[in-house]
């Protein structure tokens, strides 16, 4: 298993991308979030960052069996960041991938409600890990890191699980649950960054962006 905070540094980046909008305030190079996730956008806004949102085109997330969870999320984050960065000289592009890891398997986003129920049933009453890979590309540099948070779930009845799924809308959420909308229904406690469970480890990101600025 990877160390809790893993950093990879690469030599160069090239830049590409489209354009959208964000809000907040931050000095330094333009920050671009290479993700359409409303949860990541909200986290950046709440922490006062000024940024644009650009959804990378033609990038498919991978989860090959020969890669560890940390390697998987970092590879996906790098692909997203670099796809946008090639067309945006001077910007700092942020690519992110977050996955749930349980019993030796990566649990991505459920394909449908039955798959969501099965994911949540498996996690019910157990402890799992949330991995986020974050890649920052721009201004001729690339760097990345992995953040890991352990999440402990309450044990709930099947009826409670179904009501929870009906409330949160799980199909766009890794592991079929929503940390930002949980209200204590599933999550008993976390070890590590709670924002990482939502989809973006803000504490570590702030450290890395200070290095880049």
**Bridge partners, 51 (sequence order):** 31
Distances (CA, A) of 30 to 42, 156, 159: 17, 44, 47
Residue pair 204/128 in contact (Cβ under 8 Å)? The answer is no
Task: Please indicate whether residue 172 is annotated as part of the active site.
Answer: no
Q: How far apart are CA 116 and CA 111, in angstroms?
A: 7
213 closest CA partner among 22, 31, 10, 16: 31
Write the DSSP string, 165-209.
HHHH-GGGSGGG--GGG-TTSSEEEEES-HHHHHT--HHHHHHHH
Catalytic residue among 97, 112, 172, 182: 97
**Residue 5: how many other CB atoms lie within 10 Å:** 13
Q: How far apart are CA 195 and CA 131, in angstroms?
A: 11
Residue that has been written with the tokens 């000289």 in this structure = 89
Q: Which residues are catalytic?
A: 97
């Amino acid at each position: 298993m990877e160390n809790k905070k893993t950093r990879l540094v690469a030599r160069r980046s090239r830049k590409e991308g489209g354009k959208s909008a964000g809000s907040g305030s931050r000095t330094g190079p333009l920050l671009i979030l290479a993700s359409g996730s409303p949860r990541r956008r909200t986290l950046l806004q709440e922490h006062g960052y000024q940024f644009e949102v650009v959804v990378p085109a033609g990038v498919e997330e991978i989860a090959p069996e020969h890669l560890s969870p940390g390697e998987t999320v970092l590879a996906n984050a790098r692909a997203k960041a670099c796809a946008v960065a090639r067309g945006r000289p001077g910007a700092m592009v942020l690519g992110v991938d977050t996955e749930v890891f349980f019993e030796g398997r990566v649990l991505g986003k459920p394909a449908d409600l039955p798959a969501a129920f099965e994911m949540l049933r498996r996690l019910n009453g157990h402890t799992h890990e949330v991995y986020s890979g974050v890649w920052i590309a721009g201004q001729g540099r690339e760097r990345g890191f992995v953040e890991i948070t352990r999440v402990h779930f309450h044990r709930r009845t099947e009826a409670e699980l179904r009501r929870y799924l009906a409330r949160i809308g799980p199909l766009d959420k890794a592991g079929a649950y929503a940390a930002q909308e949980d209200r204590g229904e599933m999550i008993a406690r976390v070890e590590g960054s709670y924002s990482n469970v939502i989809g973006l480890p803000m504490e570590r990101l702030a450290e890395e962006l200070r290095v880049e600025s």
